[in-house]
Amino acid sequence: MQEIIQITTDKRNGLYDITNLVERVITESNIQNGLVNVYAQGATAAIMIQENWDNSVQNDVVNLLKKLIPSGVWQHDAQDNNGDAHLKAGIVGPSETVPIINGELGLSTWQNIFFCEFDGPRSTRNIVITIINI
């Protein structure tokens, strides 16, 4: 089963919790045991599993990547001024795969799935949810 979900982002760099959206797709699939792959379409976005307690960890991720990969110093900036976004997305990666256990995401208590925006804001970002039944 596969479904494309869409979100809107409101920051140049930010992590957006999409766990509930993924859970909805799993529930609708009626699959009890399998794998779910969450894939960000776009060369300047990524998917990350991270702590969900509060925004501090997500803010720390954004700030770390800004320090490691500053904007405005990359060759690609000559084309469309988003060289840093491409590098951040490449380092984090476009997807995560999570087990489905008894119809639920196999995340720990403190884990959620985040869409990582590195070139926003965007009115539409597509995320492909692919569920494999085992």
Closest CA to 46 of 71, 15, 22, 10: 15
Give the burial string for 59-69 (b: 16+ CB within 10 Å, else e): eebbeebeeeb
Please, what are the averages of pLDDT over each run of 10 residues along the chain (134 residues)?
A: 98 98 98 98 98 94 98 95 98 98 97 98 98 96
Name the CATH superfamily housing domain 14-117: YjbQ-like (2.60.120.460)
The pLDDT of residue 66: 97
Express each pLDDT in 54-77 by its tens digit. 999 999 999 999 999 999 999 999
Residue-range domain boundaries for the chain: 14-117
